Amino acid sequence: MKNLANLITSVIIAIWIVSIAIICTQNAEPISLKFLSYESIKIPFGLVVSFCVAFGVVITAIFLPVLNITNARTSRKSFLDDEPEFFADDEDF
């Protein structure tokens, strides 16, 4: 089952890489990014997309372990807060 999950993940990543490559080659003209009153230099669209994807991968790699740690702490805390319900029956024997 783990091999199937790895295969599906690899196929999804390969599809994304191929689609990004196709989009970047079809839109090769230089673009400039504008934010408020600032404007960047003209750089190729593929380079902009590559930087955005790399930035997303880095941010995900940084924040994913942080989120897993906080989720592990909350699930462990809620697990420890539960009291075992021995003698749950209130019947008199």
pLDDT over threshold 70, residue 2: yes
pLDDT at position 83 over 70: no
What average pLDDT does the chain have? 79
pTM of the shown model: 0.53
Domain ranges across the chain: 2-80
- CB distance 21 to 53 below 8 Å: no
Judge contact between 48 and 55, C-beta under 8 A: no
Our measurement of the distance from residue 10's CA atom to the centroid of its chain's CA atoms, rounded to an integer in Å, reads: 15
Span 42-66, average pLDDT: 87
Q: How many CA atoms lie within 13 A of 67 on its CB side?
A: 6
Averaged pLDDT for residues 38-66: 87
Question: Residue 26: which pLDDT band, with cuts at 50, 70 and 90?
Answer: confident
